[in-house]
Each structure stands twice: as C-alpha cells, then as structure tokens.
Amino acid sequence: MLAEDFYFKTLSTEDLWKRYCGFLELSAPEFLAIQRTLLEEELRLAADSLLGRKILGKRPPRTVEEFRATVPFTTYQDYEPYLSEKREDALAVRPHTWCHSAGRSGKFKWVPHSKEHMDKVARNCIASVILSSASRRGEIRLAPGLKILTMLPQAPYTTGSLFAHLGERFTFQRIPTPELVEGLPFGEQMARAFEQALRDGFDIAGAIASILVRMGQQMSSQAGRSHKVSTRLLHPKVLLRLLRGWIKSRAQHRPVYPKDLWNPKGIIAGGLDMSIYVKEIEKYWGVPPLDIYASTEAVILGMQSWNKNYITFLPDSAFLEFLPYTPHENRPKHEETVLIDQLKENHLYEVILTQFHGMPLMRYRQGDVIRVTGIGEQESGTLLPQIEVRRKVGEEINLAGMCNLDERAIWRAIADSGLRYVDWTAFKEYDSNTAFLRLIIELKEPVPAAEVSSRVDSALRKIDPDYNDIDRYFSSNPVKTTLIAEGSFARYSMAKVREGADLAWLKPKHIEPTRESLNQLLDMGGVKEAE
C-alpha cells in the first residue's frame, strides 16, 4: 500500500482534512513556528556544503534573525554552473528530483528537490485535489484510484515531475499515461490526452487555464461540422460518450461543451490568466477551477481554499520573506524584508524564498510579485494573508510616472472589453516626448483599431484607479492599437516549433517582447491597421 493510501484507509474524514488542508486554519504565529523550525534545520544541513559555504559565508547563521541580517539576496546566477550541470557534489543532500523551468529567461533553470520536499509536494498536491472538488470545509470527495487528466508538460518540467512523484505516494490513474505521450510534441500530447479521456473518463483535471478554455471553444465551434475523425475515436465507449454529450447539449439548445462529455469533480489550474478565464472554464467544464501558486523553485507555494477565492501560502514549501515592491526601484538591501505576519492589505511584495531539507537556494529572488488581497478570509475561516500573483519583477509598463500596467491588468482589460481575440502583446512606445501603450492584437472579428483602443482604455479605467486619473497627463487616449492579420500568432508558433524552441517561447511575451520576436510576429502576416 502506498504511503498516502494508508491515511485514506485509516483516518476519519475530519482527520484527513486536518492532514491535507489543515494549513488553512493556521494562525500567523503557528505558520512562522513551522517556518522557523524548518529553516534552522536547513541552516544546519547546508552549512558544510560547497554552495552553502558560498552563500552563508565563513560563519554560517544559526537562527532566523541571523540569517535575515547577514545573508544577501541571491539569483540563479549565484548557483551557476553548479545547478545547470547538476553538480550534486556541491549540495548538502543528494536530491531526489531535478526539475527545470519553462525556459522563460531563454534557457532552462535546473533546480534540485529533496525526497522530503517531494513527499510534501505529493501531500500538498492531494490537498489541491481535495480543495478543487470541495464546496465546504471538511468535504472529501476522492479516494485512491481516482483518474486525473493532466494536460500539462511532462517531466522534467515541474508539473510533470509533481505528478510523477505523486504516483509514488498515492494510487491514481494518470491520463494520458506517460508512455502514451513520451517524446511527442506538446500539441500531440494534448490530442492524446483528449482521446484517452473520451474513452476512460476522469475525475479531476489539472491543466493550463488557457488550454481548458481553448478546448471548450474548439469543441463548441466544431459542433455540427463535418470533419475527419481519428480511428482512435471509433471506440464504443467514446462513441457512447459523444452521443450522450450531443443529446445533453441539444436538450439545452447550445453547442457541445466539455461538461456534456465529462462530469469532473474538480479542476486545478494556475497562471496569471486564471482570473481572466475562471467564468469561461466554469461555463465549459461545469465546475470553478482551483488556482494554485507554483514555481520550479518550490513546486507548490500555495493554493485557494474550497471557496476558490484567493491563495493561502503553505508553511512547509519554502521559507518565505516578502520584499515591499515598488516598480523601478533600486535593488533593496537584504534586511528590508518582512515575514507573513507583517504583510499589509493591498500592498505589493516580491517573494523571496529559501529551500528546505538541505537544498541550495537561499534568500532567492525568483521574481514573483504578489498582492495581498486581505488578512484572513471570513467565509473559509482562514486567518492567514490572502494573495494573488500579479507579475514578474520589472514586467510592467509605466505611463506618465503615475500608473504601472502589468500583464494581468492589460489581460483583464482586453477580456472585459468584449473583444474576441486570438492573442496580444504590448509595450511602451514614444511619440515625441509622450509615452503610450502600444497594443499588438490579433482579432477574431473585424473591429477598427481606434475602437479597440477605446474599449481597452475604458476597461483599464475600471480596473486601475491610477490609470483612471491619467487624463491629467494625456490629452488623448494613451492606448494605441495595431491590428495584425489572422493566423499571425499561429504561424509564429509553428515557426518557433520548427526552430526547436521550448514551450515558453512559442509566442512573444505579453509585456515588452524582444524586438526580434516582435518583428518576427509582424512578418508572419503583416499589419492590417495601425493608429
């Protein structure tokens, strides 16, 4: 019997809830007590390792206070080439797993994780499964043997490594099976996952938010069209599922949605686009998604409660410090961080983390900026600060020195504008001495560029109070739009696939893309209209 299966066999429902979801009921002092114990263990383990001596110095700190007072911030460059070459001799403890990032910075970041940490990751993954399917405190609607649809990159990507280790601790059927998709491009992996899910069904889905929406849109737009059917879909179970879905959708006088084919207990997703897509995911899939905060460096840092509002940090994923964040400020001194009991509502903070269990990353700047939405949450009874992930450090567009528009705000504004679009990218541009927001967007419908700018401007005024006051500095709309030809983003992605680019580079960055990627995008179809 696997380790986590044992608890489901022996514990009561209440005790299971405490084991997996008890972090939601911690007070800030209880949270910090766990953090302190684990950090002091980390300092003892790391002190004699090669990387530990490099970061901690000749006189390693022994307490949290000494650690925060004497150890400088670090970035991934401080650990090169040890981690990129997987130099285990430089570590205090032999790692159980090596994960790599999506390559957002241009190349992979390899990060080691201990067996103890990955065991906690498995437990916290089970917590996310429980919370995704719960509608009240204490509700547990799963057991060993459930089916999990994972529309996510395979190991050694962090998400794939997470589910691989979960399988060592908890019995579940993974759809698609790793053997089915090994070596296939990501798009083909998703096609195989869809086909296997049609045959076998699933209980929980873990996916990128935009993929869930895209599947719903494609399914509804293809309803009633004649198209080629894969022979793999000509299975009695698949045909029966498709027939039932068609009957259900016809009864409600609408196209077929994923919820007509499946009845998921829960959906787990993540990313900056989650807040934009929540309503559409629920519309297509029938349940609201659970947002998790994940990173290569810590795997799972936090997740929403059963009511799917805001994210609560986990106490045992990493030691957490928070650096008050002001865009474009100079690099702060190391003693300027606060801990979780000092966070303030509506303030922005950069997350600084330290790995546990002898792993090397200490006072590490992974570049995430969060906003504290509140201290505690009444409905769920959570006492800890509630947060949302806003952006990466430096990824914002400053206008007139008074407002900073990040990816989340612009994405929200485009979604709220009612425009039907494929994708977009944006950057700051200058006209004489005036800076404005240049929006490059591919639409699914004909709308004049000036109207696009007007709609996005109106939506931004409702989203960002600072932007709403921008008329004092601008005599005209600070949003300028360039419309690009249909299929431009798809052609760009296909070109990147042919170049062998990684998943993170299959489309330009949403905020301040490189000049090279922007030119390549514009070359894919050309400009239809520009202000």
pLDDT bin (cut points 50, 70, 90) of residue 260 is very high
Answer yes or no: do 367 and 512 share one domain: no
Cα gap 342→235, rounded to integer Å: 58
Cα gap 337→363, rounded to integer Å: 10
Answer yes or no: do 417 and 439 share one domain: yes
Tokens representing residue 154 in the block: 């395979």
Query: In this structure, is residue 301 part of a structural domain?
Result: no
Tokens representing residue 89 in the block: 């001799």
Q: What is the pLDDT of residues 439-466, one digit of tens each?
A: 999 999 999 999 999 999 999 999 888 8
Final residue belonging to a domain, choices 335, 364, 392: 392
Q: Look at the chain and count its residues.
A: 531
Tokens representing residue 109 in the block: 């970041």
Answer yes or no: do 30 and 148 share one domain: no
* Burial class of residue 314 in the structure, from the number of CB atoms within 10 Å of its CB (0-12 exposed, 13-18 middle, 19+ buried): buried
Answer yes or no: do 187 and 271 share one domain: yes
* Mean pLDDT confidence for 107-132: 95
Answer yes or no: do 176 and 269 share one domain: yes
Query: In this structure, is residue 242 part of a structural domain?
Result: yes
Cα gap 63→282, rounded to integer Å: 46
Answer yes or no: do 255 and 329 share one domain: no
Q: How many domains is the chain built from?
A: 3
Q: What is the pLDDT of residues 291-315, one digit of tens each?
A: 999 999 999 999 999 999 999 999 9
pLDDT bin (cut points 50, 70, 90) of residue 18 is very high
Query: In this structure, is residue 107 part of a structural domain?
Result: no
CATH of the domain at 465: 3.30.300
Q: What is the pLDDT of residues 355-400, one digit of tens each?
A: 999 999 999 999 999 999 999 999 999 999 999 998 888 888 888 7
* Mean pLDDT confidence for 29-55: 96
Answer yes or no: do 409 and 521 share one domain: yes
Query: In this structure, is residue 103 part of a structural domain?
Result: no
* Mean pLDDT confidence for 148-161: 88
- Which residues lie closer than 8 Å to 67 by C-beta, 6 or more apart? 39, 43, 61, 354, 363
Distance of CA 85 to CAs 10, 82, 318, 358, 364, Å? 43, 5, 23, 18, 19
Answer yes or no: do 262 and 327 share one domain: no
Answer yes or no: do 377 and 403 share one domain: no
* Burial class of residue 512 in the structure, from the number of CB atoms within 10 Å of its CB (0-12 exposed, 13-18 middle, 19+ buried): middle
Answer yes or no: do 478 and 408 share one domain: yes
Q: Which domain holds residue 500?
A: 397-530
Query: In this structure, is residue 208 part of a structural domain?
Result: yes
Query: In this structure, is residue 427 part of a structural domain?
Result: yes
pTM of the model as a whole: 0.87
Instruction: Tell me how many degrees the CA angle 489-494-495 measures, rounded to the nearest 5.
Output: 95
The pLDDT score that the predictor gives to residue 226 is 44
The pLDDT score that the predictor gives to residue 502 is 65
Cα gap 77→88, rounded to integer Å: 17
Final residue belonging to a domain, choices 290, 308, 343: 290
Strand-pair partners of 311: 304, 387
Final residue belonging to a domain, choices 363, 392, 421: 392
Answer yes or no: do 429 and 500 share one domain: yes
Q: Which amino acid is at 156?
A: P
Instruction: Tell me how many degrees the CA angle 238-240-246 measures, rounded to the nearest 5.
Output: 100
Query: In this structure, is residue 101 part of a structural domain?
Result: no
pLDDT bin (cut points 50, 70, 90) of residue 183 is confident
Query: In this structure, is residue 113 part of a structural domain?
Result: no
Answer yes or no: do 331 and 224 share one domain: no
